């Protein structure tokens, strides 16, 4: 069974962190209904959605991906690169402790989950404005005992590694080659986004389907031509907060225990 942890959109999302985008008005009600539909897509794809309550004082708290990395053996509680986001960790850690042993990234390390692309036993970690080498070294030491390999990858021009590259199918990565170097990622098949859609490389793979924004029709066509099943969601308001589809959930497998 797959669990997807999500969190309701904060009423203060208009005060979110922005790095590469200019601030434009966010329609809170629309953001919330788009987020509802996103959660519904997760449920339709077989996830049990565990929705945490709103954190009114934490503008970016809907973006739960950034505060943890959930592996089969443990959950790594990150130390987000933006000061305003550090208080998001506590309640996610409490919830995750119901499922996993917790381990922590500590100062001077900073790490956003949006910088971590996990493919099998390999974790690619973006060196971005949010995540640094100290955190990468800590992460490597924390999870090496479980057989994981951690590889650093330079990111430029975007917020997180997964703004630039994400997994679209078992052996296929969707990439914007202007923001990362494909050579850093080994032997995967590559699908390049349509160059007219620079934010199109972030997709959330659940089973054999992907949750994907409606705002990138050209890249969506490329994905579908590869035989990838796309569940399209409208996320315009979350995109204005520099979010995308991976960042709104923490998805992990939980063995079904028999009574
Ligand atoms: C931030 O700048 O931290 C938020 N406004 C957006 C975070 C999006 N997270 C993600 O893509 N993993």
All domains in the chain, ordered by first residue: 2-253 (3.75.10.10)
Q: Rounded to two decimals, what is the model's pTM?
A: 0.97
Helices (H) and strands (E) in the chain, counts: 6, 15
- Contact status, residue 117 vs residue 174, Cβ threshold 8 Å: no
Q: Does ligand 1 lie within 6 Å of residue 243's CB atom?
A: yes
259 residues of the chain, pLDDT tens digit each: 999 999 999 999 999 999 999 999 999 999 999 999 999 999 999 999 999 999 999 999 999 999 999 999 999 999 999 999 999 999 999 999 999 999 999 999 999 999 999 999 999 999 999 999 999 999 999 999 999 999 999 999 999 999 999 999 999 999 999 999 999 998 899 999 999 999 999 999 999 999 999 999 999 999 999 999 999 999 999 999 999 999 999 999 997 765 5
Beta bridge partners of 244: none
Q: Which atom of ligand 1 is found nearest the CA of 112? A: 12
> Residue 247 catalytic?
yes
CA dist 32 to 54, 117, 125, 199, Å?
11, 26, 30, 21
Residue 56 buriedness (CB in 10 A; 0-12 / 13-18 / 19+): exposed
Q: Which atom of ligand 1 is found nearest the CA of 65? A: 12
* Centre of ligand 1 from the C-alpha of residue 105, in Å: 18
């Amino acid at each position: 069974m797959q669990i997807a942890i999500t969190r309701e959109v904060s009423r203060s999302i208009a005060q979110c962190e922005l790095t590469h985008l200019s601030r434009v008005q966010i329609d809170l009600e629309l953001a919330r209904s788009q987020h509802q539909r996103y959660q519904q897509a997760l449920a339709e794809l077989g996830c049990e959605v565990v929705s945490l309550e709103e954190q009114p004082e934490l503008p970016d708290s809907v973006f739960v991906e950034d505060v943890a990395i959930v592996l089969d053996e443990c959950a790594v509680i990150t130390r987000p690169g933006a000061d305003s986001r550090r208080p998001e960790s506590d309640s996610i850690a409490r919830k995750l402790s119901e499922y996993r042993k917790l381990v922590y990234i500590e100062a001077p390390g900073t790490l956003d989950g949006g910088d971590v692309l996990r493919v099998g036993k390999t974790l690619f970690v973006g060196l971005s404005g949010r995540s640094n080498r100290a955190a990468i070294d800590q992460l490597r030491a924390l999870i090496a005992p479980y057989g994981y390999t951690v590889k650093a990858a330079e990111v430029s021009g975007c917020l997180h590694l997964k703004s630039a590259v994400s997994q679209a199918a078992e052996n296929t990565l969707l990439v914007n080659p202007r923001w990362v170097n494909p050579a850093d990622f080994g032997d995967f098949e590559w699908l390049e986004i349509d160059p007219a859609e620079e934010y199109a490389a972030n997709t959330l793979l659940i089973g054999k389907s992907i949750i994907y924004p409606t705002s990138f029709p050209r890249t969506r066509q490329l994905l579908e031509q590869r035989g990838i099943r796309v569940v399209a969601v409208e996320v315009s308001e979350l995109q204005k907060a520099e979010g995308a589809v991976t960042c709104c959930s923490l998805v992990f497998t939980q063995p079904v225990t028999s009574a």
